[in-house]
Amino acid sequence: MLRARVVLNPAAVVAPVNRRTFGSFVEHMGRCVYTGIYEPGHPSADEDGFRTDVLALARELGVSMVRYPGGNFVSGYRWEDGVGPAEQRPRRRDLAWRSIETNQVGIDEFAKWAEKADVEIMYAVNLGTRGVQEALDVHEYINHPEGTELSERRRTNGAEKPYGIKLWCLGNELDGPWQTGHKTAEEYGLLAASTARALKSAEPDLELVACGSSSSTMPTFGAWESTVLEHAYDVVEYVSCHAYYEEHDGDLGSFLASAVDMDHFVNSIVATADAVGARLKSKKKINLSFDEWNVWYLSRFQSAPLPKEWEVAPRVIEDQYNVADAVVVGNLLISLLRHSDRVTAACQAQLVNVIAPIMTEPGGPAWRQTIFHPFARTAALAKGDVLETRIDSPTYETARYGSAPVIDAVATHDAATGDVTVFIVNRDQQNPVELTIDLSAFGADLSVADSWTLTDDDLRAANTRDEPERVTLRPTTDIPTGALTEAGTEVRLTLPRVSWTALRLSR
């Protein structure tokens, strides 16, 4: 049997756990909004038309923040179309996803949903087809208290108090040639800096996110961030990162090591941002907003073009996720937590139906995809501080990422309660791994409270409308190849092949 070891020390703190790490994303794309979060006439719909079954699942998922309204969608969006009497709102073409936008949900409706879901809003402005003035206008509508044309329009529309949104994205993926209003780094950097200065003159304590690379495979990766930050370093707090992963041509080994690439992405952008700061002689540190990440079978989407007909809420990229996908999602969360000193905001894309942990049917049920479970359990258990995790693990070779450790892990420690939680993946496709966790630095009074594992003999097993609980978390000791023992200041677990585990220890 393969063996690995993890050593933890409460004094070796990376950073506090950031609740914004557990963000999600609602874009006006496919069925994310319409028949996703919003479906008047559904048996579960509330007085505002929101599906309460989806709201309950969003709360269970532990989402802390939601990016809205896009995404590629925002680069052609006119925010004012989505406010005022619903029957007077225009229907528009959405070029990004080749669909019809009815504008029945806009910022006022979404703010109501966010309040019900108890989530913070991260708002994205259109810097594709629009610019500084339009960003100031939507900010005035959203955040100005009263006494101006747009703040009074908001009050007339039913929201007496401002929404108080603090985190704003300055456009979306303007590095991508697919983006409406695509720009060079120089063009975008100048526009982002001008927009940021204007917004901060209206509200100085806003937190602003400049567009970074839409993928680490972009030919401008690194150079884009460098140029943009040369212009905007002093007026933004974040640069964004976007990354999606999939299994290519049956190469499961590389896919299971996707977090190796996420680590590389983070480290590269941190180095780039810090280099710009050094050139500018600035003591300020730019943090990362990893505000789009997930498993997405992009190759399937690229081989199946968008609908020819212009429809409202067409079915677009409704990927069905399996066990291996869930293990990778759990591992990507491990990577995000590991970098909590610089990744202080993140959004899994998206929340409902569109590459999402929650699925719905119009007029029908809502259910949890496999990827729901590692996200929900991590959001619930990761508290206190992220600890440095020393891992001694066997390695294996991957075609995409070179040598990768079989075991990856991260741990959190809540000093207030004494709880320690360790999140672990076993990437080996054939073998269980006996993992020893050394807790000697904590003393002798920690014991196992619970341990949950996601795995299955069938790595392609998925949850569906007919079998919504086919794949779920199970106690580690209930799995035939799983085991857990305690010996003094060590805990030993046998981790099944291709599995994700959350182990919680208490005093």
Active site (annotated) includes residue 173? yes
DSSP string, 126-176: --SS--HHHHHHHHHHHH--SSSHHHHHHHHTT--S-----EEEE-S-TTS
Helix (H, G, I), strand (E, B) or coil at 65: strand
Q: Using the 8-state DSSP alphabet, how is residue 81 labeled?
A: G
Cα 182 from Cα 74, distance rounded (Å):
12
DSSP 404: E
The residues with which 424 forms a beta bridge, in sequence order, are 409, 501
Does 469 qualify as catalytic in the annotation? Answer: no
Closest-CA residue to 59 (of 124, 113, 122, 16): 113
Which residue in the block uniquely carries the two structure tokens 């007909």? 309
Give the H or E element holding residue 244.
strand 238-245
**Do 343 and 288 touch, CB atoms closer than 8 A?**
yes
Burial code of 436-459, b = ≥16 C-beta within 10 A, e = fewer?
Answer: bbbbeebeeebebeebbbbbbeeb
Cβ partners under 8 Å of residue 139, min gap 6:
125, 168, 199, 202, 203
Of 484, 332, 491, 448, the residue nearest 8 (C-alpha): 491
Catalytic residue among 101, 140, 173, 237: 173
Hey, what are 351's tokens?
Answer: 């929340």
**What type of residue sits at position 175?**
D
Using CA atoms, how far residue 293 sits from 49, 104, 171, 316, 335, in Å, is: 29, 27, 17, 17, 12
CA distances for 400 relative to 174, 254, 425, angstroms: 27, 6, 19
d(CA 493, CA 472): 19
Greatest Cα-to-Cα distance within the chain, rounded to the nearest angstrom: 70
Residues with Cβ within 8 Å of residue 371, at least 6 apart in sequence: 294, 295, 321, 325, 326, 329, 357
Query: What are the structure tokens assigned to 378, written together?
Result: 């991590």
Query: Which stretches does DSSP call E strand in 246-389?
Result: 287-295, 311-312, 343-349, 358-360, 366-368, 385-387
CB atoms closer than 10 angstroms to residue 145:
12
Which residues form the catalytic set? 173, 292
